[in-house]
Amino acid sequence: MKKEYTISVFSEHKVGLLHRITVIFSRRKINIESLNTSESEVRGIYRFTIVIQATEAMARVVTNQIEKQIGILKAFYHTLDEIVYQEIALYKVPTVAFANGDEVESLIREHNARILTIEPEYTVVEKTGHKDETKQLFRALEPYGILQFARSGRIALTKQIKEISTYLKEIDEHHEITANDTVTY
């Protein structure tokens, strides 16, 4: 049975790595629902957060395939109950929508959103939350006119006890030991 999985990939900063990762999904006809890349908590290590709909067996297979790529340090797949996650959405609405009373401002407060900037022609609103929450605000603002809308990919942290930075440091230490070993014949 297919369900949502979040794949966390930790890598070196290499050109072409994102392409090689996306090819793994394309070959298996798995659509990437969300993708976010950023630096991790360990200097020089980058994190990819990828959301897919797949069976657990397929999530395991693609995670193992990703891990085999040069430049990848470690990859994990997680279910929703194993992570804490959020997305950010930006909405550009006409400033005139605010001129007709407090309706739009009340909507923004109700949805725990905030105003980022107010210009004569438009106002930008920010909402942080899960995908369904950002969609709800979108639907609420639609009657007032949405000039532009953008939502980020998922960002996620695991609920596991062992910090990923500890795991990555262990890998780094192992690489340092291996690099310092000399081979004698």
**What's the pLDDT tens digit per position in 59-78?**
999 999 999 999 999 999 99
Domains and CATH numbers, the chain: 3-78 (3.30.70.260), 84-151 (3.30.70.1150)
What pLDDT shows up at residue 184?
Answer: 40
User: Alpha helix locations (H) across 38-147?
Assistant: 56-67, 103-110, 131-141
How sure is the predictor about 183, in pLDDT bands with cuts at 50, 70 and 90?
very low
Amino acid letter for position 1: M
How sure is the predictor about 158, in pLDDT bands with cuts at 50, 70 and 90?
confident
Q: What is the CA radius of gyration of the chain?
A: 21
pLDDT score of 172 more than 70: no
How sure is the predictor about 31, in pLDDT bands with cuts at 50, 70 and 90?
very high
